[in-house]
Structure 1
Amino acid sequence: MLEIDQLTRRFGDKVAVDAVSFDVPDGQLTGFVGGNGAGKTTTMRMIMGVLAAHGGEVRWQGDPVTAADRRGFGYMPEERGLYPKQPIHDQLVYLARLQGRSASDASAAATALLDRFDLGERRTDKLESLSLGNQQRVQIAAAVIGEPDVLILDEPFSGLDPAAVDSMVEVLREYTVRGVPVLFSSHQLDLVERLCDGLVVLSRGRVVAQGTSEGLRRTGTTRHRLVVSGDAGWVRGLSGVTVVDVDGPSALLELTSATTDEVLAEALRRGGVRELVEVTPSIADIYRKVTA
């Protein structure tokens, strides 16, 4: 397990990361979300040792993380760090060699990854000749080519089409199956909700929510959607109900003291009922609530 405990970083008088604590369990995908300037990238850089922390600690498998530990971490930075004028296969081999793989093993691993990302025929091409989406695939390959013990990925899905996202997720899932903890940041909340085992929400340098996607959704206000045959405007007169929205035959309700049976009975008395369902808040709803 990767543990972040009270991690703090200042830039002059500004506290960019303020006593941030969370865990990235083995074998799980943990999403790290927050607006621009929330502190996600700074936190990731401290985990990797790129930035020094002004307080707190990063622990790996229960002990303070060391430089030797970090050599086993795969990292994809926000500002991509590959060489635009170098062939992509050569770069991957070079990075794998830096992480201790033999020349033949590094070459085989680079070839396998490029084939996996449908870039095998472009292995001798310079990085700058690729589309932005394909450059992103090479960046992911660079992060995993050392067979990392931990993966720290800053916006790995940025610029990828849906097919590329699915391919990337398949690769990451292979690592979690092996027990590798994966932390990735993203602004794509629907993607985070679909993929992640755990979620950490950062706002103004502080953790404002964390847990499983299902657990966080259950902390929000549950609503009900009612769809009737005629106009649903009559719901405004119901006691024990807060009307969030009415649009023709459809109404979104919060049941403050009324029950679903009572709402259904009244709706049936007034005509046909097409739908009465519970609406659980989305991760986007929770995010807006906790970061407001």
Structure 2
Amino acid sequence: MAQRIARRLPELSPAHRQIADWVLAHPLHAATMPIDELAATVGVSVATANRFARALDFEGYAQFRAALVLGFETTLAPVEKLRSKLERSAKVADVFAGTLSDVERNLALTRQSLDPLTCERAVEAVLKAQRVYIVGFGSSSWLGGLLQHGLDPYRGEVHLLATREGATYAAKVLSRARPGDLLVAIAFPRYLTDTVLLARLARDAGASVLALTDRVASPLAPLADLALYAQADSQYFASSEASVLALVEALASAVAHRARNSVQAATRLAESVLPWLHGAGAPARTEVALPSPRKARTLKKAIP
């Protein structure tokens, strides 16, 4: 789009140049705006905005905006889905029901797509790795934390690399990765470049890569030795985390089932957290008798 505008720039009127400058400065915003909103924002008429699109050899503004969206398809997909949903009225209860139906469909498709051999190899990779690193950013960082929580009792050396320090901390840790280590990389639309780069870094260091992602076309898939896929379509968001969470729990459960001495590990975990569990082994409460009002006044006078 920038090249097309540059080619036509000498022929554009001052008003059209004004629109062009704004579009080049705010391409993502322009890709989401209907023609009347763009015209009002730039301070021109709707007709001028339409003529601007035709000056760039488009049939009209709709075609211009469609071409602009192409550069941001992945980024704008949730915006366009939300816009489409909001154009149709719905009761709150309908939104609840629709979302839960989407989750059910995602879970069913995720279950159908699971390959038994890949599941077996994924669990074996987790259990046999010298060290397991987990990386994911954005909402995937929370899912990574839950995976670490599930794996930690059953094998040592499980490191979550999503911290406040961000990707630089993960890169620093992964610089020590070696053959025999495993990186579990989690990424769903909208895929974050940091996760993809770190997966490549781990692979180049000789570590194995297990990807938790949504499809074969994911940028993580070609970097992974193994991949588990979760259907994550959402009507309102870039992706739905519910089916991904189920996949994370399924992987951790399979590791717990296959790990040696898993019962002993679960017992040690239960014993270690026992003092912090309400109503389960907490010390008995000691009742303290309060002084009578008269005695309390006497004590108050006695205290300087």
TM-score by length of 2: 0.24
Q: Which has the higher strand share?
A: 1
Greater helix proportion: 2
**Structure (1 or 2) with the larger CA radius of gyration:** 2
**Higher RCO by CA contacts (8 Å cutoff, separation 6 or greater):** 1
